[in-house]
């Protein structure tokens, strides 16, 4: 009887394992079926272009982007010794340095103000986030008129203070800073809205306990607000870095990469090489280098920044 029971138990276990394996395969196929539309879109518009760009970066191409000759790392070696590309790399990092910290600090300051429970605060929240509703093209045109040497508001203000006019977009000393200022203004709406959402998710009991303890507002800001909003700050800083490296629209509209390549960031340099000079191999190599720059910055951000993130 014991042998019969053991055989029966073994058969039941085998059948159960078989049924479970079939069920897992069925669930896997169902899951892949649901993911198929997304995988197809990612494959066509993300993975294939990325792999194709990496492939073309090792070739010399014709004006249509058709590979003619395998050159290995020559495109990369040329870029790393090119004065124009090094200037583009410098302009890109300076642009990131100008825009990201100021955007986050200003947006956090506005979010702290807008998070106060005051009558009519909704009007200010709408005003602070209003730049989200404007396209890069429309915003750039507005700033182009503001920077106009003859009729621009910026020079009118300087003249009113008794200062001489400035060629904001035509002077290499001011062009990159001018574009950075307009970019900060464009990005503040999105950054502000995300940070405001993070502030509103903080438990009110923490502030109530702090008020009972009699601590100051600045102590609450340092010990409660900043630590509790740190996951949102970490997210917004990471996204801001990536977006700053990929800036194109305002550069194209305001300066075309000039004057004297002072605003010729890497993305605009890629555009010029690919669609104006028809040097697709060089443009692809620049795109690969930009990808690794963003990857390195993002990895460093996760390695160094995530340590200071406080999760509830």
Same domain, 92 and 12: no
Q: Is 226 in contact with 184 (CB distance < 8 Å)?
A: no
Q: CATH code at 293?
A: 1.10.3720.10
User: Would the pTM count as exceeding 0.85?
Assistant: yes
Is residue 65 domain-resident? no
How far apart (Å, rounded) are the C-alpha atoms in residues 188 and 104? 8
Same domain, 278 and 227: yes
Same domain, 155 and 294: yes
Q: Is 245 in contact with 293 (CB distance < 8 Å)?
A: yes
Same domain, 102 and 237: yes
Is residue 214 domain-resident? yes
pLDDT along the chain (312 residues), means of 10: 53 63 82 88 90 92 88 91 92 95 94 87 88 90 92 91 91 94 94 92 84 84 88 92 94 92 94 91 94 92 78 65
pLDDT confidence of residue 8: 54
Same domain, 9 and 129: no
Is residue 34 domain-resident? yes
CA diameter of the chain: 108
- Which range of residues forms the domain containing residue 24? 2-56
Is residue 141 domain-resident? yes
Same domain, 224 and 300: yes
Is residue 50 domain-resident? yes
pLDDT confidence of residue 307: 73
Same domain, 140 and 239: yes
Is residue 71 domain-resident? no
Same domain, 48 and 121: no
All residues at 6 or more sequence positions from 43 whose CB lies less than 8 Å from its CB, including other chains: none
Identify the domain boundary among 56, 73, 98. 56
Neighbours of 232 (CB within 10 A): 20
Same domain, 145 and 199: yes
Residues in the chain: 312
How far apart (Å, rounded) are the C-alpha atoms in residues 248 and 91? 13
Is residue 266 domain-resident? yes
Neighbours of 291 (CB within 10 A): 14
Same domain, 22 and 93: no
Is residue 62 domain-resident? no
Number of compact structural domains in the chain? 2
pLDDT confidence of residue 5: 53
Q: Is 147 in contact with 169 (CB distance < 8 Å)?
A: yes
Same domain, 52 and 108: no
Same domain, 257 and 146: yes
Classify burial at 251, counting beta carbons within 10 Å of its beta carbon; exposed 0-12, middle 13-18, buried 19 or more. Answer: buried
């Amino acid at each position: 009887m014991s042998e019969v029971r053991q055989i029966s138990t073994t058969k039941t276990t085998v059948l159960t394992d078989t049924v479970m394996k079939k069920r897992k395969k069925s669930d896997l196929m169902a899951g892949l079926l649901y993911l198929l539309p997304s995988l197809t879109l990612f494959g066509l518009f993300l993975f294939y272009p990325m792999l194709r760009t990496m492939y073309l970066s090792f070739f010399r191409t014709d004006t249509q982007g058709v590979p003619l000759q395998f050159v290995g790392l020559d495109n990369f070696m040329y870029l790393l010794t090119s004065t124009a590309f090094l200037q583009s790399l410098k302009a890109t990092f300076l642009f990131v340095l100008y825009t990201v910290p100021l955007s986050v600090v200003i947006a956090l300051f506005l979010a702290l103000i807008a998070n106060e429970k005051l009558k009519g605060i909704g009007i200010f929240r709408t005003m602070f986030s209003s730049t989200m509703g404007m396209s890069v093209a429309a915003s750039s045109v507005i700033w182009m008129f503001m920077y106009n040497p003859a009729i621009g508001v910026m020079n009118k203000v300087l003249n009113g203070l008794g200062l001489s006019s400035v060629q904001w977009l035509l002077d290499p000393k001011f062009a990159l800073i001018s574009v950075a200022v307009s970019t900060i203004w464009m990005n503040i709406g999105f950054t502000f809205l995300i940070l405001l959402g993070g502030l509103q998710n903080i438990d009110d009991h923490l502030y109530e306990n702090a008020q009972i303890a009699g601590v100051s507002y600045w102590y609450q800001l340092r010990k409660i607000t900043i630590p509790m909003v740190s996951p949102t700050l970490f997210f917004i800083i990471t996204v801001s870095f990536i977006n700053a490296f990929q800036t194109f629209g305002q550069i194209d509209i305001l300066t075309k990469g000039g004057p004297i390549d002072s605003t010729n960031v890497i993305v605009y340099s890629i555009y010029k090489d690919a669609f104006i000079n028809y040097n697709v191999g060089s443009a692809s190599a620049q795109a690969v280098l930009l990808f690794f720059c963003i990857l390195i910055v993002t990895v460093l951000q996760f390695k160094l920044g995530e340590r200071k993130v406080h999760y509830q």
